[in-house]
Structure 1
């Protein structure tokens, strides 16, 4: 914005200065020409005063002295045809002046000032003073240069003032942007510092009000989650007691393990909701992915599923917590076991990339069907939440998720995880 305001002020100031200085420049040139004509007229009149009273030799000396002092050639045309002083052609303007009328006429090299001297015995004499183009423009260049420098200085001052004014406007706006970024990152204590024009202050107050309202809503959500946690504990406890009362010990243990898993999942969801803001966690992706694949490899061996695991030789730190990344890998591998027939293999590859890490999960199953990528409408009858969990984990780390077809057929899920 500062640049655009500076350009706007420079353009506006330039137009104003052009409208003002161009007429002034033309006026300066006209005044310089008028001054040169007046000086030449005075020189011609001083010589004309000697015509008729001085002889030819004295008149020649007077014309030469006038030429030397004024710097302009002075010529005297006598009625008898003699030409005294500086050599000059007898132009039509001289002939016209010989009829008794003084005038200023243009010549190929500039102007000539002609003063008619009447009352001589033989007729009318003409005193001519020649002016070159340099005489007509003497001093004009210096004045024009001064006006140009003045105009540039005024434009510079205008740009400087505009920049100061723009800074007074952009500085509070930059502060608002920083506060909004902090709020987006989860820092709900961020507040603006009032400043700038009234409109910017109003925006800052509105942003502070919005931040306060978000905090209130999150507090209500945490309270609601706490209430939900208490409500869920009771039926889970009853379910656990029912499982323990079963006569078959193996069935009781199996149902008890499922109840424990359900309780852990419910606790994890509630803790996530109640958490005010997540601190950016990190973990060694190679260790987490390797541990989860080894966990699923036991079930893969029972179902005759080939497993291809490739991990980097060194630790690979990503901007995701171990629990979140582990849940992500579990969701993707759970989809493989749920939606591919027994015997279909899968491959898990983790590689380092400039952005962080690239996690690929591919299988040799039927692949994604039409509509299978939409949440809540899986082609295999699932809820589609596994892909949603993976997507949220990738985006929370600053990465992304893409799905498609594996090179040998089947499904391919690629996660880009941000670097810590």
Structure 2
């Protein structure tokens, strides 16, 4: 911005100076020549009058005397009897001269002046005007530098303030710069910083309160499920369902902790190399009875023994969300397919239903977007957030029938990197 201000100010100054300086130089040059011609014309009239006065007094006209009175002039006097008298030195041939003639009572006088001295004076005047032009441009550039510094430094400071606000440092700086418009922006940023600080404080308080309020009932529910499993008289059914419910409660508690940590802007860093087969098998075990009751099948295919970097609770919750989405919105067999690409471990979940409607295809991961009236529109949104928190991503790779894919970092590469760090250079 500073460079643009300097260039624009310099351009304006140069244009303004040229618009004033060129006419001024031309007018001054023309004025010098006009004054020289008028002076020569007056001198010719003066010589004519002097010659006539001498003739009336019967005096002789002497050229040397006239030359002394009008130095640096070449004067040719033609009397009434055609006698020619010269005074001064004739200009060299080819020189630029100014000539004026005067006649009175039969006397003709021609006065010539070499224009070299006029040209020298005109050149000095042009040099003076050029110096003033350069001085004016220099002063304009200096003022432009001062003004640019006065404007750009506050803007750079305001940009740093805005960046601090974006990074979560919401402390107002309360700096003012002496420019009303810039001070207005600084004042607005300070007020925004106060509001953001209040919002962040309220968010952290809510996260703390929610963490306390949710942790207690989840712990109590987990304990009751354990007691139910231990006291069950029909272990084949109750123990299986109770164990599954207890596992879901534990996973739910882990997900709640992770979401609350994110709400407090405190990343947990729980992502570790995990066995994808274990996560998939756990979810199949929990969801297969539900799909069986609906007359549908749940199948697993793909490459076994893959290791991905993820938080176990988060990845389980993502797969559970996709299975629930297929159960509610999809149809037919649901397939969990695992594979490995050059850069990622991929877990695909797809069904044989009608798929995602075209109007929801681009917004399926947006908050509060749901395909059914009783839905909250948070499931896929939170699932993508959990994937992003683990350094992966969740994408809709096919709309009809719907197929979602979880892209995760490779766990074996992380393990090899850790081994290199621990072992050090060879």
Q: TM-score range by the shorter chain?
A: 0.5 to 0.7
Confirm or deny: 8 A CA contact 1:305 1:346 kept in the other structure. yes
Confirm or deny: 8 A CA contact 2:45 2:102 kept in the other structure. no
Query: Deviation of residue 323 (structure 1)?
Result: 4.4
Does structure 1 residue 309 correspond to structure 2 residue 296? no
Q: What SS is found at the alignment partner of 1:305?
A: strand
- Equivalent residue in structure 1 for 2:198, among 213, 217, 220: 213
Q: Distance in 2 between matches of 1:110 and 1:365?
A: 103
Q: Deviations over 1:152-183 (max 9, x none)?
A: 21232122112210134213302311211211
Aligned length: 375
Does structure 1 residue 194 correspond to structure 2 residue 174? yes
My pick for the range that moved more, 329-338 or 193-202, is 329-338
Does structure 1 residue 157 correspond to structure 2 residue 142? yes
Q: Deviations over 1:342-367 (max 9, x none)?
A: 4x6453344356xxx58462646336
Q: How does 1:10-409 map to 2 (within 5 A)?
A: 10=10, 13=13, 17=17, 21=21, 24-26=24-26, 28-30=28-30, 32-33=32-33, 36-37=36-37, 54=61, 66=72, 74=74, 76=76, 78-79=78-79, 80=82, 86=90, 112-114=98-100, 116=102, 118=104, 122-129=106-113, 131=115, 134=119, 137-183=122-168, 190-197=170-177, 198-221=183-206, 222-234=208-220, 237-238=223-224, 240-242=226-228, 244-275=230-261, 276-279=264-267, 281=269, 283=271, 287=274, 289=276, 292-293=279-280, 305=299, 307-309=301-303, 321=311, 323-325=313-315, 327-332=317-322, 339=330, 341-342=332-333, 345-351=335-341, 359=346, 361=348, 363=350, 365-366=352-353, 368-370=355-357, 374=364, 377-378=370-371, 386-396=379-389, 401-405=394-398
Confirm or deny: 8 A CA contact 1:48 1:127 kept in the other structure. no
Q: What SS is found at the alignment partner of 2:173?
A: coil
Q: Deviations over 1:375-414 (max 9, x none)?
A: 66448x98765532332235557876542428xx743335
Q: Which is helix-richer, 1 or 2?
A: 2
2:423 paired residue number: none
Does structure 1 residue 413 correspond to structure 2 residue 404? yes
Q: Distance in 1 between matches of 2:138 and 2:29?
A: 22
Confirm or deny: 8 A CA contact 2:354 2:401 kept in the other structure. yes
Confirm or deny: 8 A CA contact 1:10 1:155 kept in the other structure. yes
My pick for the range that moved more, 130-139 or 152-161, is 130-139
Confirm or deny: 8 A CA contact 1:168 1:196 kept in the other structure. no
**Unaligned segments of structure 1, at least 5 residues:** 68-73, 90-108, 184-188
Q: Distance in 2 between matches of 1:233 and 1:306?
A: 32
Confirm or deny: 8 A CA contact 1:400 1:417 kept in the other structure. yes
Q: Distance in 1 between matches of 2:194 and 2:184?
A: 15
Distance 1:382 1:193, change over 3 A: closer
Q: Distance in 1 between matches of 2:275 and 2:47?
A: 111
Normalised to the residue count of structure 2, the TM-score between the two structures is: 0.65
Q: Deviations over 1:239-263 (max 9, x none)?
A: 5545544421122212321331242
My pick for the range that moved more, 330-339 or 216-225, is 330-339
Q: Distance in 2 between matches of 1:393 and 1:259?
A: 22
Confirm or deny: 8 A CA contact 1:243 1:252 kept in the other structure. yes
Q: Distance in 2 between matches of 1:262 and 1:394?
A: 19
Q: Distance in 2 between matches of 1:390 and 1:178?
A: 29
Two-structure CA RMSD over aligned residues (Å): 5.0
